[in-house]
Structure 1
Amino acid sequence: MVKEDDDFLVREKQKEANMKVERKEGEPTQAFKGASIAALIIGMSAYLLGLYNAAMELNEKGYYFAVLIFGLYASISLQKAVRDKEEGVPVTNIYYGISWFAMIIAILLMAIGLYNAGSIILSEKGFYAMAFVLSIFAAITVQKNVRDTKSAKEIE
């Protein structure tokens, strides 16, 4: 009886070992990649759904949409520039500076827009701010995961 139990445990461990996906050194886990993508989708969806349902002029909605897209692009560009510089990949100072400038401007445009928005109640302003921050952070994380995965596979 004990021998059968031992054989069963050995077979189960072998099955688990065969089912595991080999992860390269430096590659993010599938769970982290999935969580990052989910955060990006949730942040952007919440923000855009809030805009769709908002009782504001179409030009205001366009402003907030443009700020989101600009912020996402700026955050990915900044992440790339900072990472390249850290890894010794040549980055011009003008590109590095523009990346920082674009990110700061995107955040300022969002803050100024929300501060001056008279038609939005305070809780909505907080909602837009948090959805914006979640989307920006998630975009940076997704970009980092893509780059780490690519780097890990190139080392192979």
Structure 2
Amino acid sequence: MGTVRFQKPTAAFVAASWAALIIGAIVYLLGLWNAAMQLNEKGYYFTILMYGLFSAVSLQKTVRDRLEGISVTGIYFGLCWVSLLLSVGLLAVGLFNATLAPSEKGFYAMAFLLSLFGAVAVQKNVRDIAAYKAENPLADDIAATE
């Protein structure tokens, strides 16, 4: 098997990834802030967002570790999958049972999923940039002098 070569993600993809994460999370949180819900209900949706973001990043990291030959136990890999699916499932059950308008339910679901996508893409970019810099330590110096 040949040597793995890492490509640096484009600035546009890095910016789009950060924008997806930040916009998704901020819009979701602004929706919670302005919602006419009890505080415990807002706490439930906030916790699901945090749990979902953590589990998505953790799953992306374990998948990447396995691809790069870094040892990841099967139980941790499975736990990451269960956590991600559980966070999505908890959001779905919460929204299904919520006394919100269908448009509000869709708003929370889409902002949540945008946040998860952004978190995974940002984590991927962080890993790709670090791997690229490790493989090409003079790349930034060369680009700065051109």
TM-score relative to the length of structure 1: 0.82
**Residue 27 of structure 1, CA deviation:** 0.6
* Structure 2 match to 1:134: 114
Taking the TM superposition and a 5 Å limit, the aligned residue runs for 1:92-111 are 92-111=73-92
CA distance, structure 2, for counterparts of residue 100 and residue 86 of structure 1: 16
Aligned-partner SS, 2:76:
helix
Change in 2 beyond 3 A, CA 1:106/1:88: same
Aligned residues: 132
Deviation at 1:30, TM superposition (A): 1.1
The aligned runs of 1:45-60 (5 Å cut-off) are 45-60=26-41
The list of structure 1 runs, each at least 4 consecutive aligned residues, that deviate by more than 3 angstroms after superposition, is: none
What percentage of residue pairs aligned between the two structures are identical?
57
Q: TM-score, normalised by structure 2?
A: 0.88
Task: Report the Cα offset of residue 103 of structure 1.
Answer: 0.4
Listed as ranges, the gaps of 5+ residues in structure 2 are: 137-146
Larger radius of gyration: 1
1:145 corresponds to: 125
Alpha-carbon offset, residue 35 of structure 1:
1.0
The answer as to whether partners of 2:55 and 2:80 remain within 8 angstroms in 1 is yes
1:41 aligns with 2:22: yes
Trace 1:1-156 onto structure 2 (pairs within 5 A).
26-118=7-99, 120-156=100-136
Distance 1:59 1:95, change over 3 A: same
The separation in 1 between residues aligned to 2:62 and 2:40, in whole angstroms, is 32
Per mean C-alpha deviation after superposition, the further-off stretch among 85-94 and 98-107 is 85-94
Q: Alpha-carbon deviations, 1:135-156, whole Å to 9, x = none?
A: 0000000000000000000002
Q: Which amino acid aligns with 2:80?
A: S
Q: In angstroms, what is the RMSD of aligned CA positions?
A: 1.1
Aligned partners of 1:92, 1:38: CA distance in 2, in Å? Answer: 32
Structure 1 residue ranges without an equivalent (≥5): 1-23
Judge conservation of contact 2:6–2:131 (CA < 8 Å) in 1. Answer: no
